[in-house]
Structure formats: structure tokens, C-alpha cells
């Protein structure tokens, strides 16, 4: 039985933010080439569909949706200095969200256990009423709302390992105790949010976990964070679904990041989350492409995650050795989170 799904489509190439933009169609082209090499006995290819207005409006305002739709009438429209649309961007954005929802539905029905939505544009910076940071719609946030409204999900763990803090995702769920949002990100860095003291508010207080890492962190530091913060809190939360905003811009080759993670590091983080999903969520874990702008590093890193998805029971978990330089940060985050997770 095929238990892993892939969402990818040539239409995702149509979003073109302009020449020399880092979030370029070639990012998806190299992943299309990778997908063609996958064994269809191990991965099921799922077609995308456009998300509906109702689905998008779970996270975004009517005014913002109408603004993006209007950009279909002009060759170029700049939402901000980094986030530019073309005539096809609105449709591609809907298709990216809808592709992720198709994957979640296939998992909810039991057809698949896990999957990877290889879509673009990315989404975790998108706010309720504006896009930013290359992002149009917040795909992972719409997906979490979909799981709660349509699939009966009670506890959703969103892990975001992109080099940039997912400010849009955090804002979407900062008052929601049914969604645990955890982020490992370079700090201080764009978009400026993600301090360890940002822990959510109201009923959601304690359900936001930020690990603001200094530049230069690599596999050992990320493993330490996973072992001491992410996995213990994730296990105590006991999610019935895990969603991963998988940005590969912490890679040591990435032109937009200052981190030192390797393909092996991403694969190890994926392995740890697959294990967490097996123990608490019936194996249900969906990876979603966010950043990652060095083409060779992106391809190798995605391939490493796919390999772990194929055989999750054979994966190695993060090493408990190394990364001592960030121990003061680890202790600080644990001290901040202790009132919510120590009982």
C-alpha cells in the first residue's frame, strides 16, 4: 500500500515575481524533475485544485482576497518590496492552498499516512489582510483551519523550521489552544518577530514556542533544540496532526540565510517529527514547502525528507551530543515555557 503522497504541478511554475527574484519558478522546476524520479509504488502523486473563497477566508479577509484577485488584471503588482505578483499569481496561490488541502483530505480519509506538498509561492509570512515576504496566502494556516472544520482535528502541531520566523502563522493561532505553533529561526532577522518571550495570548498563551537562534547554527544546534524543546513539548501536547512548514533556507548554501544546516540535518528533523507523528498522531504528518533558494541544496534536502517519509521506522533521531554553544538559549526558552509544559 502506498502511504505517502506528493502534491506538485507544472502550473506552480506560472507564478513569476520577476527577474532576479529569489522565489523563482526554477525552485519548482528542479522539484518537478525530482518527482519524476520517484517510484510510484512508494509515492502517490495527487493533483491540486483551486482553494475556494470560503476556504481562503478562514484565514484572510475579503478585502485582501479581492485585492489579490484584482492583480490578475495587471502584469506586475507589488504587495511590498519583496512580494510581487503577475497575472497568474492569484490562480497559482489558490492552487497551492488547494493542493495542500487535497493532501490533508487524502490523509484524513486514511488513503495516505503522510505527504509533502511541493507548492509555491510559500505562505507562512502572509497575514490576514496582506501578503509579505514572498507569501500570498498562508497555506499552512488555511490547512490547519480545514483540519479543524472539516476533518475533526482537535490538536494540531505546526512545526516551522524555515530560517525566517513564520509571523503570519503565529498571528493566526496565537489565541488558539488547539494549535501548537513552534518555530526555529534565525534571530534577529526578517521579519523581526519570533522572540522567545512571544508565547501566545489569551486562551492560546503557552501554545506558541519560539526558539530564536543566532546565525551560524547547524545540525548539532538544531538537534539540541529538537531534543530539549521541540520534541518534549510536542509530545506533551500529544497532537492528532502534525504540519511542517518546511523551509530549506537554513541550509549552509542558501543565499538568504546565515545558518549551517545540511541535508542530513533536515532529514534528521523530519525523522524526529515522523516518529512523533507515529507515537501520537497515527502517523499523520504533512510537510509543506516554504523557503529554500539554493537550487541544488533545495533538491537534495527535499530528497532527504522524502527518503525518511518512505521508511519512517528506519530513521535515526537527533543526536544528543553537540550544540553546547546554544545551551543558554535552550535554558532560557525552557524557563519561559516551563509554566505551561512542566505539569
pLDDT classification of 313: cutoffs 50, 70, 90? low
CA 94 to chain centroid, in Å, comes to 17
Active centre residues (catalytic): 125
User: In the beta sheet, which residues pair with residue 289?
Assistant: 246
**Whether 224 contacts 330, CB under 8 Å:** yes
The answer to whether residue 305 scores a pLDDT higher than 80 is yes
Residue ranges and CATH numbers for the domains of the chain are 4-341 (3.40.800.20)
Q: Are 309 and 269 in contact (CB under 8 A)?
A: no
pLDDT at residue 61, as a whole number: 99
* Side-chain half-sphere CA neighbours of 233 within 13 A: 30
Residue 317, pLDDT above cutoff 70: no
Mean pLDDT of 238-254: 99
- pLDDT band with cut points at 50, 70 and 90 for residue 314: low
Residue 330 in this model has a pLDDT that exceeds 70: yes
What confidence score (pLDDT) does residue 315 get? Answer: 57
Given this model, what pLDDT does residue 173 score?
99
Rg (CA), the chain: 18
**Residue 326 DSSP SS3:** helix
- The tens digit of pLDDT for each residue in 112-170 reads 999 999 999 999 999 999 999 999 999 999 999 999 999 999 999 999 999 999 999 99
Q: Are the beta carbons of 221 and 327 closer than 8 angstroms? A: no
The model's pTM is 0.98
Provide the strand spans (E) within 147-187.
156-160, 179-186
Q: Report the alpha-carbon distance of residue 323 to residue 299 in Å, rounded.
A: 26
Q: At what angle do helices 89-108 and 139-150 cross, to 10 degrees?
A: 40
Q: Report pLDDT for 312.
A: 72
Whether 60 shows a pLDDT value over 70: the answer reads: yes
Amino acid at each position: 500500500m502506498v502511504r505517502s503522497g506528493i502534491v506538485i504541478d507544472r502550473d506552480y511554475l506560472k507564478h513569476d515575481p520577476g527577474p532576479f527574484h529569489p522565489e523563482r519558478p526554477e525552485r519548482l522546476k528542479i522539484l518537478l524533475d525530482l518527482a519524476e524520479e520517484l517510484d510510484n509504488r512508494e509515492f502517490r502523486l495527487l493533483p491540486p485544485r483551486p482553494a475556494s473563497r470560503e476556504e481562503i477566508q478562514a484565514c484572510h479577509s475579503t478585502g485582501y482576497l479581492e485585492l489579490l484577485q484584482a492583480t490578475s488584471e495587471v502584469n506586475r503588482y507589488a504587495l511590498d518590496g519583496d512580494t510581487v505578483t503577475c497575472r497568474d499569481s492569484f490562480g497559482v496561490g489558490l492552487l497551492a492552498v488547494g493542493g495542500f488541502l487535497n493532501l490533508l483530505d487524502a490523509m484524513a480519509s486514511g488513503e495516505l499516512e503522510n505527504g509533502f506538498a511541493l507548492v509555491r509561492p510559500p505562505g507562512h509570512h502572509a497575514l490576514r489582510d496582506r501578503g509579505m515576504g514572498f507569501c500570498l496566502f498562508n497555506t499552512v494556516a488555511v490547512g490547519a483551519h480545514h483540519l479543524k472544520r472539516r476533518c475533526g482535528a482537535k490538536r494540531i502541531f505546526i512545526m516551522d523550521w524555515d530560517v525566517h520566523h513564520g509571523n503570519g502563522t503565529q498571528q493566526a493561532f496565537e489565541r488558539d489552544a488547539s494549535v501548537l505553533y513552534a518555530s526555529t529561526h534565525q534571530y534577529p532577522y526578517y521579519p523581526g518577530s519570533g522572540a522567545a518571550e512571544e508565547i501566545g495570548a489569551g486562551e492560546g498563551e503557552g501554545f506558541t514556542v519560539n526558539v530564536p537562534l543566532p546565525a551560524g547554527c547547524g545540525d548539532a544546534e538544531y538537534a539540541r533544540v529538537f531534543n530539549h524543546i521541540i520534541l518534549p513539548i510536542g509530545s506533551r501536547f500529544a497532537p492528532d496532526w502534525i504540519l511542517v512548514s518546511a523551509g530549506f533556507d537554513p541550509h549552509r548554501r542558501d543565499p538568504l540565510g546565515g545558518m549551517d544546516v545540511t541535508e542530513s540535518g533536515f532529514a534528521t528533523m523530519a525523522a524526529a517529527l515522523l516518529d512523533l507523528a507515529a507515537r501520537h498522531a497515527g502517523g499523520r504528518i504533512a510537510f509543506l514547502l516554504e523557503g529554500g533558494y539554493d537550487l541544488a541544496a533545495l533538491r537534495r534536502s527535499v530528497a532527504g525528507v522524502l527518503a525518511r517519509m518512505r521508511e519512517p521506522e528506519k530513521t535515526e533521531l537527533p543526536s544528543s551530543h553537540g550544540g553546547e554553544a546554544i545551551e543558554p538559549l535552550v535554558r532560557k526558552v525552557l524557563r519561559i515555557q516551563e509554566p505551561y509544559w512542566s505539569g
